Amino acid sequence: MKKQFILIVILFSINQAFAQHKKTNLNIVFIGNSITQGVQLTDAATEAPPATAVAYLQKQKNLDTVSFSNQGHSGYTTLDFLPGTGTFAKVEEAANAFTNKDALLIFSIKLGTNDSAIQGPHGAPVSPEDYQKNLKTIIDKLLADFPKAIVIFQHPLWYSPNTYNGAKYLQEGLSRLQSYVPMIDELVKTYAATNPKQVFVGDTKAFAYFEKNHLTDLIPENGREGTFYLHPNKKGAEALGRFWGMAINKIIKHNF
């Protein structure tokens, strides 16, 4: 009995050590627009989707430390994040600033809302082909400079078809936004061949969620075409962060 007990203790210790070894550390740079930035939230530092995504990830048993940088900028399009811009330089600075250099570096990208506008944001309207081209240019440079990093695309979010604030979106913009989704998915497939396990599709569910729950999860805003819905409120930001967190964790579990 004593030998059996000792054996059980040894096996338990091995299992615990193995489990500890399997835990993953993450450094995440969130790239996006005002939704990622958390505009109109009382405390964006803790309430914006990147913060709520990390709060979800920190509760997962397969993960250890999760550090992040919110590189969301209100009104920005894919053109604003192209290599050579000051914004892109800040993204790379954020990636280099993490103290744990052994952690898995992730670039989580959610762009497209401003690209889809009829007029207003930089370069809008951006065609689906140019949107995909811009994303590829961004990814290629990130992977060249951070060859061990991975990129995760979160699908863009629904906004009401009467959205018209300083920029003009409307139904035309929403339809264009939806045309970006297959361009993202197609781009990820091409990287599966050239850069295996480096570029992934993340969340695909938030669009439908916010379309269904916009009255409770998005902020009513006064626009030129009446009350429109575009930005998550605190409840919506928490929901979006959970969608992103679940998508990121699923990718980590299945691939790393």
How far is residue 205 from each of residues 105, 120, 145, 242, 256, measured CA to CA in Å? Answer: 24, 28, 31, 11, 23
What does 79-106 look like in DSSP terms, one character per residue? GGGSTTSHHHHHHHHHHHH-S-TTSEEE
Residue 99 lies in a domain: yes
Residue 8 lies in a domain: no
Q: Please report whether residue 98 resides in a domain.
A: yes
- Which CATH number characterizes residue 168's domain? 3.40.50.1110
**169-201 pLDDT, tens digit each:** 999 999 999 999 999 999 999 999 999 999 999
**Total domain count for the chain?**
1
Q: Which domain holds residue 88?
A: 25-255
In-domain check, residue 4 = no
Instruction: State pLDDT tens for residues 81-127.
Output: 999 999 999 999 999 999 999 999 999 999 999 999 999 999 999 99
pTM of the predicted protein model: 0.91
Asked whether residue 93 is assigned to any structural domain, the reply reads yes
